[in-house]
Amino acid sequence: MKIIKTEFSGLYLIEPEVFGDSRGWFFESWQYDRFKNAGIDVSFVQDNISYSGKNTIRGLHYQNGETAQDKLCFVLEGKVLDVAVDIRRGSPTFGKYLSAELSGDNKRQLFIPKGFAHGFSVLSEGAVFVYKVSSNYAPASEKTIIYNDATLSIDWKVAEPVVSQKDLKGEPFLQIEKNFIY
């Protein structure tokens, strides 16, 4: 397993070792000691799985306060562009984002620490997206940044985005609360 540091403090791209033969494949998606030894000391409490069709954009979501979440994201089927935006005031990468293609083929994972907003767009006909979180979902603490925020200028790589009504009501990046300090 390769755990690759990015330019964003605490944000890692993970390339698991995949074992395959004529029957199929196997890989460890999470192994506490391996991640802890790489500096990712997190206990996950909930697994989430979603299916989304082509051109869907979900996010940019995050939770505030005690329910802020670390996330480990990967795709079982299909292909997505996974996006993490640094919302930690004082961070050298505040307001910047990292995007990575995650797919059922490449088995890559993205570890996103607290203090990042998260979203993804579906680049294939559909995608099964999986993510582990370190805190339970708390609707009262959930916040959304509008996916097409001009300040962030994220290239979601989809021509005609399909976005939920909830996500269309997201806040502009420059108006989000200052809850995460680097």
Q: What is the mean pLDDT of each run of 10 residues along the chain (182 residues)?
A: 95 95 93 92 96 98 96 98 97 97 97 98 98 96 97 96 97 92 92
Instruction: Say which of 131, 137, 147, 182 is annotated catalytic.
Output: 131
pLDDT of residue 160: 95
Which single residue is written with the structure tokens 């979440």?
Answer: 69
- Cα–Cα nearest to 143, from 174, 117, 181, 108: 117
Q: What is the pLDDT of residue 23?
A: 95
pLDDT at 15: 95
Query: Choosing from 32, 61, 97, 147, which is the catalytic residue?
Result: 61
What is the predicted pLDDT for the residue at 107? Answer: 97
User: Are residues 130 and 49 in contact, defined by beta-carbon separation less than 8 angstroms?
Assistant: yes
pLDDT value, residue 49:
97
Check if 131 is active-site.
yes
The domains found in the chain, sorted by start residue, are 44-175 (2.60.120.10)
Q: Are 134 and 66 spatial neighbours (Cβ–Cβ below 8 Å)?
A: no
Neighbours of 120 (CB within 10 A): 27
- Which residue, 119, 123, 118, is CA-closest to 105? 123
Rounded Cα distance between 128 and 105, Å, is 12
Q: Is 61 assigned a catalytic role? A: yes
pLDDT of residue 116: 98
